[in-house]
Amino acid sequence: MALAAPNVSAQSADVLEQARTLFREGLSLEAAGDWASALAKFEDVGKVKLTPQVRFHTARCYEHLGRLNEALGAYRLAEYEGGQQNIPELSAITQARQALEARVPKLVIKRGKGAESAKIELDGVALGEAQIGEPFAVDPGPHTVVAKLTGDRQFEQSTNVKESETAEVELVAPDFPAPATAGASSSDLPNVADTSRGSPHSSALPWVVGGVGVAGLAGSGVFYLLRNGAKNDLDHGCHGNVCPESLKSKQSDGELFSTLSMVSLGVGVVGVGLATYLFISGSHHTENVATTGVKWDAAIGPGMGAVRLDGVF
Instruction: Note the pLDDT tens digit of each residue in 196-236.
Output: 444 444 467 777 777 887 887 887 788 788 778 777 776 77
In this structure, the number of other CB atoms found within 10 A of the CB of residue 274 comes to 23
Q: With cut-offs at 50, 70 and 90, classify the pLDDT of residue 267.
A: confident
What is the pTM (predicted TM-score) of this model? Answer: 0.50
Flag whether 218 is in a domain.
Answer: yes
Least confident range of 39-48, 84-93, 167-176: 167-176
State the amino acid at position 269 in one-letter form.
V
How far apart are alpha carbons 248 and 302 in whole angstroms? 14
- Same domain? For 284 and 201 the reply is yes
- Same domain? For 305 and 279 the reply is yes
Q: With cut-offs at 50, 70 and 90, classify the pLDDT of residue 308.
A: low
Q: Compute the average pLDDT of residues 241-254.
A: 69
Nearest to 219 by CA among 263, 185, 180: 263
Flag whether 185 is in a domain.
Answer: no
- Same domain? For 215 and 301 the reply is yes
152: domain CATH number is 2.60.40.1120
The tens digit of pLDDT for each residue in 50-78 reads 999 999 999 999 999 999 999 999 999 99
Report whether pLDDT(142) > 80: yes
Q: What is the layout of strands, in order, in the sheet containing 154-161?
A: 125-126, 119-122, 141-148, 154-161
Report whether pLDDT(253) > 50: yes
Q: With cut-offs at 50, 70 and 90, classify the pLDDT of residue 282.
A: low
64: domain CATH number is 1.25.40.10
Flag whether 164 is in a domain.
Answer: yes
Question: Tell me, what's the pLDDT at 127?
Answer: 94
Domain ranges, residue 36 = 12-101
Give me the helices (H) in 32-67, please: 35-48, 52-64
Question: Tell me, what's the pLDDT at 277?
Answer: 77
How far apart are alpha carbons 217 and 211 in whole angstroms? 10
- Same domain? For 93 and 127 the reply is no
Residue finishing a domain among 138, 171, 204: 171
